[in-house]
Structure formats: C-alpha cells, structure tokens
Amino acid sequence: EDQVTQSPEALRLQEGESSSLNCSYTVSGLRGLFWYRQDPGKGPEFLFTLYSAGEEKEKERLKATLTKKESFLHITAPKPEDSATYLCAVRNRDDKIIFGKGTRLHILP
C-alpha cells in the first residue's frame, strides 16, 4: 500500500534557527513527490516537485531534496512568516496523489 509519513508532527523553532522536515514514502512507481504549504483556514499551496533521487529545488529559505526513500524540506534561517503546516505528497503510477499528515511548523520571533 502506498504510504507517506512525515516527521516530526510539530516543530517549534526560534527565528533564524535552521532545521529540516522529513517525508518518507513507499509508493508503487513514483511519478513525482510534492511539497505544499498550508496556512490555517486555507487550501494547500504548491511549493515544489521532485522526480528523481538526487534532485533538489530551492525557493527563498526552503530547499527540498529527494532520495529513493525520503525527501527533506530544509528551512534556512526561518522567519515567523514561514510558520505553517508543510505537506508532502506522492503521485503513484495510477496518478493517485497521496498526502502525508503534515508537519506543523511554528517559528518564534
């Protein structure tokens, strides 16, 4: 069964304190791994797509990386506005898109 597991469930950081969020997955025929950001009361917002092991994508203070079993979302020198829930999802060979439960990130000023 295809599965996505994110850790930690919640993370509190001081402003400027870098860290990483983890997304481990098992999927039949990976056709893409996706990161989203979700603010309270809003729909998720797409951030990155990764297709193959070794691939990296960057956007402002965020960098996503991919291995054959997991992905990391690295947050460098975060600011309070980076506080959100970060969701990881995978697309399988049948084009089903399966989400993890997310990591709630809180950046303290």
Partner 1 sequence: EAQVTQNPRYLITVTGKKLTVTCSQNMNHEYMSWYRQDPGLGLRQIYYSMNVEVTDKGDVPEGYKVSRKEKRNFPLILESPSPNQTSLYFCASSGLAGGPNTGELFFGEGSRLTVL
Write out the residues near partner 1 by the rule CB under 8 A: 31-32, 34, 36, 41-46, 49, 51, 87, 89, 91, 94-102
Question: CA 78 to CA 19: how far, in whole Å?
Answer: 9
Residue 81 tokens read as 């506005």
* Of residues 21 and 89, the one with the C-beta less far from partner 1: 89
* Of residues 8 and 16, the one with the C-beta less far from partner 1: 8
Q: Is 33 exposed, middle or buried (0-12, 13-18, 19+ CB in 10 A)?
A: buried
Question: CA 90 to CA 72: how far, in whole Å?
Answer: 13
Least separation in angstroms between residue 99's CB and partner 1 is 4
* Of residues 31 and 63, the one with the C-beta less far from partner 1: 31
Query: What torsion do the CA atoms of 20, 85, 37, 99 make, to the nearest 10 degrees?
Result: 90
Least separation in angstroms between residue 22's CB and partner 1 is 15
Least separation in angstroms between residue 42's CB and partner 1 is 7
